[in-house]
Chain A
């Protein structure tokens, strides 16, 4: 009898403890970057790890971390009352804080600017959250009409999207910089609409520059200058024999800056036929070697300390930081010193790979599809593109914005905005491929190995590239 009772309680325990993958107990979006409430800015959908409730219920019979964390991104009940006679469409977006407010304001304006369509905007969490929710929605057939997504073209093969190539006018196509179209293409076909795009930037602490005898108006332009400046900025201020003010660091999305360096060294990420990754060539090795030497030879970058890099920069403990342009307003606000920005330094080439997210349109009733496309065009109009830039730091994607008075005024007032605009011609695209998220993870692993003192640059990159190439050919 006792035995039966024991096993009955065991069964109960297991069912409650292991089986309890209820939506509320799933892991939620985590603020991995303490100093930045802003959204992530990496080029792939998968860079900011976070899980969501919806998909966890079907795929994970365990509940990771049964904590008291509230689910962050449950659908906010739309506040807009249905208006009769208007086509109602659902828009999932993924930005919070300053950026979220900017998007909400745009949606509000759109709803007031015309009477045919009504957009219901629903916040869905980080890029990773929204990617997972869309994934679940594909399976459950509960997709919205339009969604903001990072790495949107990776959904090209899902069969549920309306490719933007079928909708876009020739005029729009030539007005938007080609790099942004590349960023939204899969196998040469335009899949999604560029929306909020960022570029990686070199942020500098002008006060520390002056204190180190450097000219804050001349940020490093080449890799060698970067090393020289970083050396001057690395200091042991408390006399314990170890530096506590560092010259250089990058935010946690190291793969983004590394991919930029591979291209700056003259290399490529993906082969021309798009069938395999090729960054384990000599250019990739040169980039990884440069990265490793920053840590281990020049000792200007702390090893594997990207998690706190942005906060360290804002706290005045870091001279130069690589991070997305979309963090410019936040960093300028938080920092108690003069912040400068510059395009990423160049080597054989200059390269700033585009990050950020796009608008993805889903198949549905004809009137809703039409409304969704109308909304997408409105959101990316020259005036709104400039508006978004001023509010958030996401770059204006159109050539014609140079005619916008608002942009002229803003650039005249803000030298950092001017520097950002000046970097636009270097905007390039890391090719989008289905294994991109996986690839980012492999790149980060290779970088971690080297930062820990490894010198087998070729080996680290080969491991990463072979893992991805196996996945790309095997599926």
Chain B
């Protein structure tokens, strides 16, 4: 058969066209538009935008609130992802075996992930109630002092991190389970014949072969973590004293509460750049170490 490059290209494009049109209209165009907008001062209730070049970025990098938001986002990310992934792997290993009622357990772990985050946040606001909340009841039962969770800067972010880990667990467990089930049984069999113990199986077979899965979870989790918003919005509104103002919440305050559209767009661009850079770094540092099955 003769190669028909033109015809193939046209056919390929035709197949892509529907999603390309929708993505361009609702994703690429708004992104480019926001990039353009970030060069303007636009108080939306006060008439037309005026071009100010990169001044929004200058203001942004000089703003203490912005750096606080970046810091809070980093604390949230670092605090929630490694423990969250470790816990997810642990649970996945527990669930990756013939157990009675296994589907039930799997469903139970997945439910938080598919529950509306707004509903979850409202419930957790009650769990964290300093006088009558479940969290303090548990602490007190263990003989520990009550914590004023969302009401104090030093405990508000940890409270959000715990919620984040709990909520992300189900998704990560499912991905890890899928990864575990992809590991061929004959590898374990061979290792056992060579006399490997359980720890060695985990360390030298499971963990390396799960690397692509872990890598995927890490990247998705970092991207999601940098975009956390809902729980902050519902539970703390960024407080007390800005201690839980993450970057997207800061963006929201600027763009949608104070109507500084240009400034808000500049924050969005910076967030975009941060996530891009982080993802590239992760690919550079870890991508080469990931072992894909052949």
Interface residues of A (CB under 8 A from B): 2, 6-7, 10, 13-15, 17-23, 27-28, 30-32, 34, 46, 49-52, 55, 57-70, 128, 132, 135, 138-139, 154-155, 157-159, 240, 242-244, 252, 302-305, 307-308, 315, 317, 434-435, 437-438, 441, 444-445, 448-449, 451-452, 475
Contacts and interface: CB of A to CB of B under 8 A. Distances in A.
B117 A67 contact: yes
B280 interface: yes
Interface stretch (B85-93, B146-154, B182-190, B193-201): B146-154
Contact of A57 (B30, B132, B283): B30
B220 A17 contact: yes
B77 interface: no
A304 B151 contact: yes
Going nearest first, the 3 A-B pairs with the smallest beta carbon separation are A64-B229, A65-B230, A61-B31
Contacts of B118: 28, 30-31, 67, 69
A59 B34 contact: yes
Contact of A448 (B26, B241, B252): B241
Nearest to B48: A159
B129 A62 contact: no
Give the most central of A57, A437, A444: most B CB within 10 Å: A57
Interface in B120-161: 121-122, 125-126, 129-132, 140, 146, 148, 150-153
A60 B131 CA distance: 38
A31 B153 CA distance: 23
Given A6-B283, A31-B122, A244-B131, A67 B116 contact: yes
A449 B223 contact: no
Given A31-B122, A452-B241, A158 B47 contact: yes
B130 A64 contact: no
B151 A305 contact: yes
B116 A448 contact: no
Contacts of B41: 475
A31 B233 CA distance: 10
A151 to B, nearest CB: 10
A27 B229 CA distance: 8
B255 interface: yes
A469 to B, nearest CB: 15
A58 to B, nearest CB: 5
A6 B284 CA distance: 10
Contacts of B150: 304, 307
Contacts of B230: 27, 30, 64-65, 67, 69
Report the contact-size class of chain B (Cβ under 8 Å from the partner): 35 or more
A138 B272 CA distance: 27
A168 B224 CA distance: 51
Interface stretch (B3-11, B102-110, B260-268): B260-268
A70 B118 CA distance: 10
B257 A437 contact: yes
A63 B31 CA distance: 11
- Of A63, A67, A438, the most chain B CB neighbours within 10 A belong to A67
A128 B45 contact: no
B173 interface: no
B69 interface: no
B269 A61 contact: yes
Residue with the highest number of chain B CB atoms closer than 10 Å, among A7, A60, A139, A159: A60
A17 B223 contact: yes
> A interface, by DSSP: helix, strand, loop or mixed?
loop
B45 A62 contact: no
B30 A61 contact: yes
B45 A65 contact: no
Contacts of B268: 59-62
A10 B47 contact: no
A59 B264 contact: yes
Contacts of B220: 13, 17
A302 to B, nearest CB: 7
B47 A452 contact: no
Contact of A49 (B23, B37, B131, B252): B252
Given A57-B26, A59-B37, A65-B227, A34 B122 contact: yes
A77 B263 CA distance: 34
B34 A13 contact: no
Contact of A159 (B28, B47, B261, B292): B47
A118 B133 CA distance: 50
Nearest to A70: B116
Nearest to B224: A66
Given A59-B268, A155-B45, A302 B27 contact: no
Given A60-B34, A64-B229, A19 B28 contact: yes
B75 interface: no
B223 A50 contact: no
B256 A20 contact: no
B191 interface: no
A61 B272 contact: yes
Contacts of A6: 283, 287
B239 A445 contact: yes
16 contacts: A34-B122, A34-B126, A55-B256, A58-B34, A59-B255, A60-B264, A62-B275, A65-B233, A135-B256, A159-B47, A242-B131, A302-B130, A304-B152, A307-B125, A441-B257, A449-B241
Given A159-B47, A304-B151, A18 B241 contact: no
Contacts of A441: 253, 257-258
Q: Looking at B125, B146, B241, B275, which has the most chain A CB atoms within 10 Å of its CB? A: B241
A193 B148 CA distance: 43
Nearest to A471: B258
A22 B30 CA distance: 9
Contact of A434 (B46, B233, B272): B46
